[in-house]
Amino acid sequence: MTPKSPEEILQETYNKVSQIWDALCGVPGTSDKGLLGRFETHCEEDAEFRKEYYKFRRQCLAVFFFLLGTGALGIGVWQIPQLIGG
């Protein structure tokens, strides 16, 4: 096994670093975003999902508390069997 010259070691190191860079940041001139770009897209989608989820949750709680406050839930539920049973 012959020892490698410093230029060969430097070129191998550059190639490996370039592969790591391409995997993390994507290949320049292509649509590949790499891992960091995909993670950023995931975070944006997650933020939108959470925003919509909490909006839906607030609406559900508003309906629940409205029904509870008007008596449709609570004591009104116990009167349903009396109405059905006669």
What DSSP assignment string belongs to 5-20? PHHHHHHHHHHHHHHH
Model-level pTM greater than 0.85?
no
* pLDDT for res 72: 72
Place of tokens 């993390």: 24
Q: What mean pLDDT comes out for the span 16-37?
A: 88
Q: What is the pLDDT of residue 62?
A: 94
Predicted confidence (pLDDT) per residue in 42-57, tens digit: 999 999 999 999 999 9
Q: Domain map of the chain by residue range?
A: 33-86
C-beta separation of 34 from 24 below 8 A: yes
Instruction: At 40, list the tokens.
Output: 């950023």
Which region among 29-33, 40-44, 82-86 has the lowest average model confidence (pLDDT)?
82-86
Left, alpha or beta for 5 (phi > 0: left; psi -120 to 50: alpha)? Answer: beta
What length does the chain have? Answer: 86
